[in-house]
Amino acid sequence: MQTIIARSLPSLKKNLNNLKKNQKVGLVPTMGCIHDGHLALVKKCKKSKYFTIVTIFVNPAQFNNQKDLEKYPSQEKKDLEMLKQYNVDLIFIPKARQMYPAGYSTYIKEITFSDVLCGKHRKNHFSGVLTIVLKLFLIVQPYAAFFGEKDFQQLFLIKKMVKDLNIGVKIIGIPTVRDSYGLALSSRNKLLKGRDLEIAKKIYLNFKKIRYLNYKHIKDIELYLKKELKNSGLNNLEYLEVRDSNSLNKPKHIRNGKKLRVFIAVYVGGVRLIDNYKLN
């Protein structure tokens, strides 16, 4: 089947109305600049035999910095080619004024976990993410939606929103896709130049070192990692924190049964990179 491209809400709705009655829809929301990380979500969605919809929309509401929004990479032609190759059923590419028409003023706010980690440094970022994701859920009404674990806090908050607001969409998290050096794939990697790319690859190499340590206190792991990252040239750290994978809370000690994860945001050559790593 040919990939349908919908650039407006009426065109999307028309195509959704044409679907067979019991055809389940799988949604893969993206901001474009498609890479293997996105394609892993698409593959999983296709494998489940869902009518696969990929959205490409650089959501202004989730950028707290106008420069960052302007700098965000885009490559629509290449994205469309790649998604067609993966037999995506429909690609939705709305314009900002369609999603946020003049006078738009309704936003979602989660009040407990949105102001830690990335949220602490990117004011209203998660409000913007949850707002666009909820809008896409309401417009598309998918059976399932797919998100990468690289944005672990985002995935956590989307699951929380779905639970809190009784939204009937199945949320599927997909493990982070890494390059052969372990660098988490991200659209922002395109902005890394020369030596900065080499430095960025050190994030994962340092993460892997923690597995062999026998620390009892979370603080000690954090201090160790910060030192090692600095020695590797990763000295512009925004945050580095170990948290509970299930609750996103910050435990003091390492206890049996607690699933821990280290979270990082770091600037490399002016590019903000995030990653996370399961400790146990």
Q: From the CB of 142, what's the least distance to ligand PAF, in Å?
A: 13
148's tokens: 């990468």
Q: From the CB of 12, what's the least distance to ligand PAF, in Å?
A: 16
- Quick one: how many helices (H) and strands (E) in the chain? 11, 9
Nearer to ligand PAF, 153 or 206 (CB): 153
204's tokens: 């994962």
Catalytic residue, chosen from 38, 121, 217, 253, is 38
Instruction: Kindly identify the residues of this chain, within the stretch 159-218, that bind ligand PAF according to CB under 6 A.
Output: none
Q: How many CA atoms lie within 13 A of 248 on its CB side?
A: 17
Instruction: State the number of binding residues for ligand PAF (CB under 6 A).
Output: 10
Q: Which stretch binds ligand PAF (CB under 6 A): 24-32, 94-102, 164-172, 221-229?
A: 24-32
Q: What is the C-alpha to C-alpha distance for residues 231 and 71, in angstroms, rounded to an integer? A: 29
Instruction: Kindly identify the residues of this chain, within the stretch 90-149, that bind ligand PAF according to CB under 6 A.
Output: 129, 132-133
Q: From the CB of 256, what's the least distance to ligand PAF, in Å?
A: 33
Among this protein's residues, is 38 annotated catalytic?
A: yes
Beta bridge partners of 271: 268
Q: What is the C-alpha to C-alpha distance for residues 122 and 116, in angstroms, rounded to an integer? A: 10
Radius of gyration from C-alpha coordinates of the chain: 19
Q: Which stretch binds ligand PAF (CB under 6 A): 23-31, 103-111, 174-182, 245-253?
A: 23-31
Q: From the CB of 152, what's the least distance to ligand PAF, in Å?
A: 11
Instruction: Kindly identify the residues of this chain, within the stretch 141-160, that bind ligand PAF according to CB under 6 A.
Output: 151, 154
How many Å separate Cα 157 from the centre of its chain?
Answer: 11
Q: What is the C-alpha to C-alpha distance for residues 176 and 192, in angstroms, rounded to an integer? A: 19
Map residue 271 onto helix, strand or coil.
strand
Nearer to ligand PAF, 62 or 176 (CB): 62
Q: Which of 29, 37, 94, 142 touches ligand PAF by CB under 6 A?
A: 29
Q: Is the dihedral of CA 30, 34, 40, 42 positive or negative?
A: positive
Whether the CB-CB separation of 273 and 186 falls below 8 Å is answered with yes
Q: Taking CB under 6 A as the rule, does residue 37 contact ligand PAF?
A: no
Q: What is the C-alpha to C-alpha distance for residues 54 and 278, in angstroms, rounded to an integer? A: 28
Nearer to ligand PAF, 62 or 114 (CB): 62
Q: Which of 16, 25, 41, 59 touches ligand PAF by CB under 6 A?
A: 59
The catalytic residues are: 38
Provide the binding-site residues for ligand PAF, judged by CB under 6 A.
Answer: 29-31, 59, 62, 129, 132-133, 151, 154
